[in-house]
Amino acid sequence: MTPQFWLWLGFAGMAVGAAAILVLGKRRTHAEEADTIIHGIVPIIAACSYFAMATGQGSLTLPAGPDAMEAARQFYFARYIDWTFTTPLLLVGLSRTAMHSGLRRPAVVWGLIGSDLIMIVTALAFGLSQVAWVKWTWFAISCGAFGAVFYGIFVQLREENAAERADVRAAFLRNAVFLTVVWCAYPVVLLVGQDGLGILSPALALAIVAMLDLTAKVAYGLMATIQTTRAVDRDLAETRSSATPLRRAA
């Protein structure tokens, strides 16, 4: 498969995924509507990124390394623009799942977003760098910020999630583990791909990133949307059951 195949596949998959999330998502409460929009807009942004890369507008040609100026690599900067918007949205969605009854600690969410943006910007610097020690310093900083994101998820958000009912706690843990497993594959691909050690071929690196993107944005978005629907189903059922005795008493 050529690199173009995977880029167009990413575009088509994101477009279809966005439509599916927006159709399946419900809007019975303000919170449910917000979650549907958050998870629906993520693949829309990603579809725009893949369209830009597939048409040649989202990449530029860079030297393969400081000692091989005749060799070139395609650097897909559009994916970093994509991640700058989509990963914070995914973290906001995850935070809303953790604090289903109310967003009690906005500072934690801002800390997650800040760490995430540092991770992406420094990963961009890693991909653009040609000097070896500069490149790998940026990579190390990016991984450090990545660790801060996971601290926010599994320590700070989990502390808040402990106050929620059992089904919400289970949904948050599933979502957090799912995203963690998928996101941990990204730095590995960047490490061995064309922007790093150059072990993977361009087509294979694109294929892996496209599959990871579709999993993190579409598959996860569908899963999170369904879980939100189930949580709101229970919210509404509890509201109806608590209102019934009042009507009888009246």
For residue 35, is pLDDT > 70?
yes
The percentage of residues in the chain with a pLDDT greater than 70, rounded to a whole number, is 94
pLDDT at position 41: 97
- Whether the predicted pLDDT of 225 surpasses 70: yes
What is the SS3 string spanning 50-111? HHHHHCCCCCEEEECCCCCCCCEEEECCHHHHHHHHHHHHHHHHHHHHHCCCCCCCHHHHHH
Q: What average pLDDT does range 160-179 have in this prediction?
A: 94
In this model, does residue 237 exceed pLDDT 90? no
| Alpha-carbon torsion angle 175, 176, 181, 185, nearest 10 | 110
Structure tokens at 36: 């549907």
* Mean pLDDT across the chain: 91
pLDDT of residue 67: 45
Distance CA 95, CA 97 (A): 5
Q: Which domains does the chain show, CATH number per domain? A: 3-232 (1.20.1070.10)
Read off the pLDDT band of 246 (50, 70, 90). very low
- Tell me if 228 sits within 8 A of 35, measured CB to CB: yes
Quick one: pLDDT at residue 37? 95
At residue 82, does pLDDT exceed 60? yes
Torsion of CA 133, 80, 111, 153, to 10 degrees: -100
Mean pLDDT calculated for residue range 107-128? 96
Q: pLDDT band for position 244 (50/70/90)?
A: low
Pair 65, 135: CB distance under 8 Å: no
Residue 243 is predicted with a pLDDT of: 60
Select from 152, 161, 165 the least CA-distant residue to 230.
165
Q: What angle do CA 210, 212, 213 make, to 5 degrees?
A: 65
pLDDT at 119 over 60: yes
pTM given for the model: 0.90
